[in-house]
């Protein structure tokens, strides 16, 4: 795309690689998951996505400037010398709606050129009842909304659902014992990626875990990372620190709710450890 470009700091052979989308989503599920994976696996920064329309900011980490949209790569080693390469796109900003299709097409063009295997997109899932209760008559925010009534299992166990753009992706979900997202709406970047993936016959798989859309939901992100272990070969990661972070975030939110005014507009703070 002319308006959005990818600059590679390091050129790697990414054939058969898995790609993870880390643009902000409901509950910041994708950003938290992507940030934690990059840090836990000590992945290498290999490039950035840039555009004149992107925020004019620099993200400072460990005394070093970083672009607001970056991508990382790392190798996942198997027991017999086999390995899988994982690429993670990571961003701290929510792109405006007029950029979403351009961003998605740029990512998919690049993934096809690199001959990657598939693109995985984590997303928070808001059930219909909870969404209407929290938002009232306000306009719905981007994300995934289930048209299926909320069930006790979905609420307590944070079941992960999946939806894929291709038969191979649906077979991958079946092999990993991931139930198919039955009915609903997926908007924003995951929704466009799914539609474009189907149009191109490129495997895009969206993984959805129930999440609160008005707070960072590290627990939902950890649930999706657990499911990634069943999908990405040789993907192993210690989630104990992230579950500890989930407890801290939930405690902070409970304290915030006590002092917030009824009917007041709540804003979602960025995750303070991994975001």
Instruction: Work out whether strand 144-146 and strand 160-164 pair parallel, antiparallel, or are unpaired.
Output: unpaired
* Higher local confidence (pLDDT), 176 or 135: 176
* pLDDT computed for residue 154 by the predictor: 37
Instruction: Flag whether 274 is in a domain.
Output: no
* pLDDT computed for residue 162 by the predictor: 97
* pLDDT computed for residue 206 by the predictor: 97
Instruction: Flag whether 267 is in a domain.
Output: no
* pLDDT computed for residue 49 by the predictor: 96
* Residues in Cβ contact with 45 at an 8 Å cutoff, skipping those fewer than 6 apart: 9, 66, 70, 71, 72
Residue 272 has pLDDT above 60, yes or no: no
Cβ neighbour number for residue 163 with a 10 Å cutoff: 24
* pLDDT computed for residue 105 by the predictor: 96
DSSP state of 28: G
* pLDDT computed for residue 250 by the predictor: 66
* pLDDT computed for residue 265 by the predictor: 46
Provide the CATH number for the domain around residue 72: 3.40.50.10900
Instruction: Flag whether 112 is in a domain.
Output: yes
Q: What is the largest CA-CA distance in the chain?
A: 58
pLDDT in tens, 7-19: 999 999 999 999 9
Kindly state the tokens that stand for 21: 């989308």
pLDDT in tens, 197-226: 999 999 999 999 998 777 888 899 999 999
pLDDT in tens, 96-107: 899 999 999 999
Alpha carbon of 31 to those of 114, 153, 177: distances in Å? 23, 25, 24
* pLDDT computed for residue 270 by the predictor: 44
Instruction: Flag whether 265 is in a domain.
Output: no
Alpha carbon of 14 to those of 44, 73, 112, 118, 248: distances in Å? 14, 9, 10, 11, 37
* pLDDT computed for residue 60 by the predictor: 87
* Higher local confidence (pLDDT), 25 or 45: 45
Mean pLDDT, residues 227-232 taken together: 96
Instruction: Flag whether 2 is in a domain.
Output: no
Instruction: Flag whether 86 is in a domain.
Output: yes
pLDDT in tens, 105-163: 999 999 999 999 999 999 999 865 554 444 444 444 467 776 554 443 333 357 899 99
* pLDDT computed for residue 103 by the predictor: 96
Domain count, the chain: 1
User: Could you tell me what percent of the chain has a pLDDT over 70?
Assistant: 79
* pLDDT computed for residue 253 by the predictor: 57
Find residue 6's DSSP bridge partners: 49
Instruction: Flag whether 169 is in a domain.
Output: yes
Alpha carbon of 246 to those of 109, 136, 214, 240: distances in Å? 35, 27, 14, 10
pLDDT in tens, 236-255: 999 999 988 787 766 765 66
Mean pLDDT, residues 168-197 taken together: 95
Length of the chain: 275
**Containing structural domain, residue 206:** 16-254
Mean pLDDT, residues 77-87 taken together: 91
Cβ neighbour number for residue 77 with a 10 Å cutoff: 11
Element (DSSP H or E) covering residue 71? strand 69-77
Instruction: Flag whether 272 is in a domain.
Output: no
């Amino acid at each position: 795309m002319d308006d959005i470009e990818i600059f590679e700091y390091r050129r790697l052979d990414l054939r058969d690689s898995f790609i993870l989308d880390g643009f902000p989503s409901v509950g910041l599920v994708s950003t938290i998951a992507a940030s934690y994976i990059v840090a836990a696996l000590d992945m290498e920064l290999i490039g950035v996505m840039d555009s004149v329309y992107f925020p004019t900011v620099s993200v400072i980490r460990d005394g070093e400037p970083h672009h607001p949209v970056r991508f990382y790569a790392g190798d996942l080693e198997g027991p017999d010398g086999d390995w899988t390469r994982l690429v993670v796109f990571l961003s701290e900003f929510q792109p405006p709606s007029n950029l979403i299709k351009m961003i998605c097409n740029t990512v998919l063009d690049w993934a096809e050129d690199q001959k990657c295997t598939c693109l995985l997109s984590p997303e928070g899932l808001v059930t219909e009842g909870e969404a209407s209760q929290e938002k009232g008559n306000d306009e719905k925010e981007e994300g995934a909304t289930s048209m299926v009534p909320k069930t006790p299992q979905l609420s307590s166990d944070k079941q992960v659902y999946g939806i894929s753009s291709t038969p191979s992706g649906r077979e991958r979900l079946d092999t990993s014992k991931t139930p198919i997202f039955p009915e609903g709406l997926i908007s924003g970047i995951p929704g466009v990626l799914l539609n474009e993936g189907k149009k191109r016959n490129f495997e895009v798989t969206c993984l959805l875990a129930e999440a609160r859309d008005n707070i960072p939901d590290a627990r939902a992100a950890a649930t999706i990372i657990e499911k990634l272990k069943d999908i990405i070969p040789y993907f192993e990661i210690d989630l104990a620190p992230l579950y500890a972070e989930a407890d801290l975030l939930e405690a902070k939110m409970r304290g915030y709710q006590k002092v917030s005014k009824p009917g007041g507009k709540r804003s979602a703070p960025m995750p303070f450890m991994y975001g």
